[in-house]
Amino acid sequence: MKFCELPILLTTIIRPVQICSQIPLRKAPKPKTKPKPKQQETVGVTRYYPYIPPNLIVDTVNSLKDKESLSEILDLIFSPLSPSDTIEDRKLYQKAYNIYQLYKKKIKEKYKERESYVKSQMFDAIENLPENLYDETVQSETEPIPEELTFQKAYREQLINKHLSDYEIEKLDTFRMLMYLRFPHTETKLKNPGLFWLEEKKMISRQKQASLLSRKSKSKN
């Protein structure tokens, strides 16, 4: 072989190698992704605490701030400092009280029987209504008892004013006022009970606000 023919021979050997190196290689197959197990959604538990909206106890707060009404309530709740009744008076009172409790129990049982009978008759009457009146009756709200038909208005003159002294009437009125001040929101709670429950986070924030207000008032003093 001549020396001049050597480069030609080398080019013929190297050219296939270069051509092979220019051929694109196939991409490696993507690894198969394993399906992830579905994670169960965790439902958080929300705690609620009993709560009374401040706007529903305005009458209670104002009455307890008033000295006259507060003294009347305290006189009704606590025993007098110098009682004038004797032991015989207390025995007579206890005897009359026991008789009253027995009478009250019998009357209450009769009223329950009467109430259940009236309810059954009421539901039967509603079911027998025509279709156009049935929907209207079911959707209508219960109307409150007229003030003139309540026990306080209907029988006050007959049972209270004629048979009780002025002192006893005063104590009775104070008792009725106390019952109202304890539960001024009874009707609202029956219609919308959700107002009387508060979330835990809101309760904590309100407690913090109250503590901040108390600190500010103490710092001013």
DSSP state of 123: H
**164 and 199 fall within a common domain:** yes
- Residue 198: partners with Cβ closer than 8 Å, 6 or more residues away: 48, 49, 50, 51, 206
| pLDDT over 90, % of the chain | 14
One domain, residues 107 and 163 = no
In a domain, 68, yes or no: no
Counted domains in the chain: 2
Q: Is residue 32 part of a domain?
A: no
Average pLDDT, the chain: 79
HSE, CB side, 13 Å, CA atoms: give it for residue 52: 11
Compute φ and ψ for 152, nearest 5 degrees.
Answer: -60, -40
Residues 153 and 194 in one domain: yes
Q: Looking at the predicted structure, is the pLDDT value of residue 103 above 90?
A: yes
Higher-scoring residue by pLDDT: 72, 216: 72
Domain-located, residue 157: yes
What's residue 105's pLDDT? 94
The answer to whether position 130 is within a domain reads: yes
Considering the domain architecture, whether residues 119 and 165 belong to the same structural domain is answered as: no
Both 207 and 162 in one domain: the answer is: yes
- Percent of the chain scored above 70 by pLDDT? 76
Determine the pLDDT at residue 208: 73
Average pLDDT for 188-216: 78
DSSP alpha helix (H) spans, 66-86: 67-77
End-of-domain residue from the set 140, 170, 204? 140
**Together in a domain, 100 and 131:** yes
pLDDT value for 5: 53
Nearest CA-CA partner of 69 in 212, 166, 170, 199 = 170
Are residues 129 and 147 both part of a single domain? no
Per the structure, the complete domain to which residue 103 belongs is given by 88-140
135-190 pLDDT, tens digit per residue, is 776 677 777 778 888 877 888 888 888 888 888 888 888 998 898 888 888 888 88
The 3-class secondary structure across 140-187, one letter per residue, is: CCCCCCCHHHCHHHHCHHHHHHCCCCHHHHHHHHHHHHHHHHHCCCHH
Same domain assignment for residues 94 and 112 = yes
pLDDT tens digits for 31-66?
Answer: 777 777 666 666 667 888 888 888 888 999 898 899
* Residue 50 falls inside a structural domain: no
pLDDT value at residue 19: 47
Domain annotation covers residue 33: no
Check whether residue 192 and residue 153 sit in a common domain.
yes
- pTM value? 0.54
Same domain, 148 and 176: yes
CB 158 within 8 A of CB 164: no
Whether 81 is covered by a domain: the verdict is no
- Answer whether residue 181 is part of any domain: yes
